[in-house]
Amino acid sequence: MFDLNFIPFGAQYYRAPTPLAGDWETDLKNFKAQGFNTVKLWVQWRWNMPKEDTYDFSDIDRLLDICAGLDIKAVLNIICDVAPAWFYNMYPESLMITQDGRKLYPQTLSYRQIGGAPGPCFHHKEGMRIRRLFIEEAAKRYANHPALLCWDLWNEPELTCGIARDAKIENMVCYCDESVSRFREWLKSQFTLDELNVRWGRNYQEWNEVEAPRCTGTFSDMVDWREFFGQTLAEENRMRAQAVRKWDKNHAVMVHTVPLPHFNFMNTGSDEYLLAKDMDWFGNSIGSHPFPAAVTSSAAKGKWVINAEIHARGGDTMSHPGFPDLEEFKTHIFVPFARGVKGFLFWQYKPERLGKESPAWGLVNMDGSESESLGYAKIINSALQSNSSKLLHAFPKKANIAILNSSSSQTFLWEISGDIALHYHSIAGAFMTLWEAGYNVDVISEHQLKAQGISDYALVYAPAPYYQDSQTADILREFVRNGGTLISEALFGGICAETGLYSKILPGYGFDEIFGCRQTVSATASAFLNAYGADYSVKEENRSATLFEYSGKTGRGYYFREEFALQTGTAIAKYENGNAAAVTNNYGNGKAIITGTLPAYMADCYEACDSKEYITYLVKEIASVTPEYEIYGGLRSDILYDGGKPQAVVLQLKKEKNRKVIFKDPEIFSKKLKNVITGTVLTVSSEGKCIIPETEGETELYTVI
């Protein structure tokens, strides 16, 4: 019902009060003449509801009417993190309260210039009620407007609109009485009081004794506290969708998020899958890199995906934007396109004039005249639109590898390390290593794993899986038993979610049977064992490294050194003392592999080629999962299909001589590839080999002809 029939391409245009009303008609006429088809307009709670029970949508009325007259489609972005001044005066108790007792008073921000951020606590009943009324009023007003494309319900969902985003304990919200009360009710829906006491290591006698966690001394209580707020954001998003759908059943609803590392889970509460699952479409900001593109498309799982904010010309009043070239602009579009993304909106059309974001971010110059950046966007848009019959319904093959990105694990690793680096680099390192090696890889949350399962995948990679829960462990166990391959990094199930206790036997949850080994010794790198004795003339990544030998090579992991005693498994890597550093084991119809360190962190944080090579060895040689192509002198090739037939190819290459790709899919053998921008035609041989001339750029999109 909500299928796209064109490729949306354009920009954010209006965030009241800019651009000023006198520019609207001229700007949008130019926008249309330049070939663009979609704008994003902000509908803001504070701006468009200036008094109680009073709505003023006159600006949106006029803008949509102009768009309709020019055949421009509009995404209406609902902005509720700018609560009206009258609301705060009427409900002063609605303010969010941080862990250290601060009240988050309404304020202006460089990106919320009209004030009112961050809005009321998400558990404040009148705040929820009035937000819903505001959204319903907008939906009722514009449900049948001919310019409307879709509803974007939330701009970068998070708890505090960036005010207290940093992953610090004192920034956590919300500790108001209503939030704590709602937290207790949520816990009641999950556990009995006895179960909660076991889980947290407490002896509460009544539910009203249960306290909101305020420190990181133990683990499961803080994990539950943050998961509660992840669910809170999901419930808020669901409420907004229901408010729109009450009046408009003919237009899609979506939300766009900001994936790691820009948003952390602890102080934003943003989990892509939880926010995507009730939406018709899904989107993101900062989605031009392969990792966030994969996180977003993995969470969307077959839904249309739109890059809702492409940050091509960022800056502020003291850091004016640079001069990106055509190659950079192509990465903004073609990299996410390779993951199946089908909509592209730049932030923004005109440079900002109000506040600290001025004079940056625009595709055009401040006076509306054309810039080089606009020219690059026009070139790419023209190429997409002229080939839309082939490109619109062309998607990559289903990924055969999943990387687990657990929000509870992120919270736990933050608790023990103080920031999100250990979690992020472990996830991103595993993804980027396999992406560069030519694999199709999804990044899935624990909630997605539990709701949708993992039987579609051949291999699951578990980065830094120290904190585990029984449901996840059971799903992984059955996955291996039924023929899948699990690769785990060190200390699998070291902390048990159900008890908060350190496991007596590692791997935990009975996975010593699945991995065919038990931990005998666990240590950390020398820099952490003895800071006074560490050699600080050695690079930090080497002081923190764990070395081992495998297949005649030396590999490096990070921080942990876990040694194993073999049971039914086979050692595939050893430390210098001869003890097992990695083990593979057949279990049921599948295979389980564990490595006693964190190679993915080393691969990403320090760009360690030996760590990347080791991870690829585990996947390709031990797990026997092969990529879909071989590439020389480059990074990546992606084939996009429609009905099983190849329609397009995205190549991401290095500027080197003798670049070539060897495709393994016979469907593309003996085909020709036509560059959508330059018209250059490449030939794929009858054996799948394609030579890439030096004249081709670093990121290129081709149609298959």
For 36-95, the pLDDT digits (tens) are: 999 999 999 999 999 999 999 999 999 999 999 999 999 999 999 999 999 999 999 999
CB 560 within 8 A of CB 524: yes
Judge whether residue 540 has pLDDT over 80.
no
CB 566 within 8 A of CB 580: yes
Query: What's the rounded Cα separation, in Å, for the pair 562 and 546?
Result: 9
User: Which pLDDT belongs to residue 545?
Assistant: 84
Q: Among 4-18, 236-250, 386-400, 645-659, where is mean pLDDT lowest?
A: 645-659
Query: Which pLDDT band, with edges at 50, 70 and 90, does 536 fall under?
Result: very low
Judge whether residue 280 has pLDDT over 60.
yes
- Average pLDDT for 240-260: 97
What is 401-622's CATH number?
Answer: 3.40.50.880
- Average pLDDT for 349-361: 97
What's the N-to-C CA distance of the chain in angstroms?
A: 30
Query: Which pLDDT band, with edges at 50, 70 and 90, does 653 fall under?
Result: confident
- Amino acid identity for residue 292 in this structure: P
User: Which pLDDT belongs to residue 656?
Assistant: 80
**What is the arrangement of strands in the sheet containing 681-683, beginning at the earlier edge strand?**
395-396, 634-642, 645-653, 699-704, 672-675, 681-683
CB 165 within 8 A of CB 261: no
Judge whether residue 10 has pLDDT over 70.
yes
User: Which pLDDT belongs to residue 89?
Assistant: 98
Query: Which pLDDT band, with edges at 50, 70 and 90, does 543 fall under?
Result: low
- Average pLDDT for 324-338: 97
- Tokens encoding 57: 């949508």
Percentage above 70 pLDDT, the chain: 98
Query: Which pLDDT band, with edges at 50, 70 and 90, does 193 fall under?
Result: very high
Query: Which pLDDT band, with edges at 50, 70 and 90, does 358 fall under?
Result: very high
For 165-192, the pLDDT digits (tens) are: 999 999 999 999 999 999 999 999 999 9
More confident residue, 332 or 534: 332
User: Which pLDDT belongs to residue 658?
Assistant: 79
Judge whether residue 551 has pLDDT over 90.
yes
- Average pLDDT for 500-507: 98
pTM higher than 0.85: yes
For 443-454, the pLDDT digits (tens) are: 999 999 999 999
- Tokens encoding 585: 């084991």
Judge whether residue 614 has pLDDT over 60.
yes
Query: What's the rounded Cα separation, in Å, for the pair 682 and 648?
Result: 12
User: Which pLDDT belongs to residue 539?
Assistant: 66
Task: Give the three-state DSSP class for 428.
Answer: helix
User: Which pLDDT belongs to residue 635?
Assistant: 82
Query: What's the rounded Cα separation, in Å, for the pair 686 and 684?
Result: 7
CB 665 within 8 A of CB 630: no
Judge whether residue 146 has pLDDT over 60.
yes
User: Which pLDDT belongs to residue 532?
Assistant: 44
User: Which pLDDT belongs to residue 144?
Assistant: 98
Judge whether residue 668 has pLDDT over 50.
yes
Sequence ranges of the domains in the chain: 9-168+228-391, 401-622, 629-704
For 202-229, the pLDDT digits (tens) are: 999 999 999 999 999 999 999 999 999 9
User: Which pLDDT belongs to residue 537?
Assistant: 46
Domain 629-704 belongs to what topology? Immunoglobulin-like (2.60.40)
Mean pLDDT of the chain: 96
CATH class belonging to 9-168+228-391:
alpha beta
